[in-house]
A and B are shown apart, each in its own frame.
Chain A
Amino acid sequence: MNSVGEACTELKREYDQCFNRWFAEKFLKGESDGDPCGQLFKRYQLCVQKAIKEKDIPIEGLEFMGPSKGKTEDSS
């Protein structure tokens, strides 16, 4: 699956692979201590946010922080 920013697709794939592995092998089994994909996510996000600005996609004002929401520790 492609990213909204064409240049970000490879970074997205690396992050997705990491996340899907953690999700299936840790999170769903009740071991959600730490997210090993933090660094990959940061790199991927830098690219995606740039693409969103360039394409003028209107994500401003969307609630990205729900109630009682805490951030995971960045374990990498």
Chain B
Amino acid sequence: MKIWSSEHVFGHPWDTVIKAAMRKYPNPMNPSVVGVDVLDRSLDNQGRLHSHRLLSTEWGLPSIVKAILGTSRTLTYIAEHSVVDPVEKKMELCSTNITLTNLVSVDERLVYTPHPENPEKTVLTQEAIITVKGISLSSYLESLMANTISSNARKVSRYNGRRAVFLGKRGNPSKSCSIPERPAQRK
């Protein structure tokens, strides 16, 4: 199992970053995502927007890796649950792969919040847990995937000046985000 996490600060306010995050794909910085569909979307009783999306990705695994994994599938699918709280200004995305699950588990979680010291900036914390199952090259493959995620996330910092900010994959240890109830104090 490999765990990867990072934190990144965008030089834009939360609303701007969230609007861009919702329109993240197609993303030239992460061309492996080739399809995105919304499967369900609704507001909960606290006014938070929940979305469930299906992403199709083309990992571009080296052919030797595909041969070792014994798969000829090139497309993998990811289920993502996101929650946007416009009052608390928090967006959380959790995702997990739903194919190749007998071989690998990639769970990611991203959280966007305003920077605690500067409302003109936004903080993204991102973490991924990668587990490759059942084969002796598991450490190597876990590192390969973690490096890909990390590299995609680093591409953000190189393009920090762009209004449309793109990030690495999203994820979470569970298929759905565990979103606690917002404390009382609403107007």
Contacts and interface: CB of A to CB of B under 8 A. Distances in A.
Given A28-B19, A63-B175, A69 B37 contact: no
Given A58-B99, A59-B98, A62-B175, A68 B181 contact: yes
B43 A70 contact: yes
Interface in B22-79: 22-23, 25-26, 33-47, 49-50, 52, 54, 56, 77, 79
Nearest to B77: A57
Interface of A: 1-5, 8, 12, 15, 19-20, 23-24, 27-30, 32, 35, 41, 44-45, 48, 52, 57-59, 62-66, 68-72
A20 B23 contact: yes
Interface residues of B, number: 41
Contacts of B18: 28
A71 B35 contact: no
A35 B43 CA distance: 9
A1 B181 contact: no
Contact of B39 (A24, A59, A69): A59
Contacts of A68: 44-46, 181
Given A63-B175, A63-B176, A2 B49 contact: no
Given A8-B37, A63-B81, 17 more contacts: A2-B34, A3-B35, A3-B36, A12-B38, A19-B41, A20-B22, A28-B18, A30-B86, A41-B41, A59-B54, A59-B98, A62-B98, A64-B40, A66-B44, A66-B177, A69-B50, A72-B43
Contact of A57 (B44, B45, B54, B176): B54
B183 to A, nearest CB: 14
Contacts of B135: none
Nearest to B87: A30
Given A20-B23, A66-B81, A28 B86 contact: yes
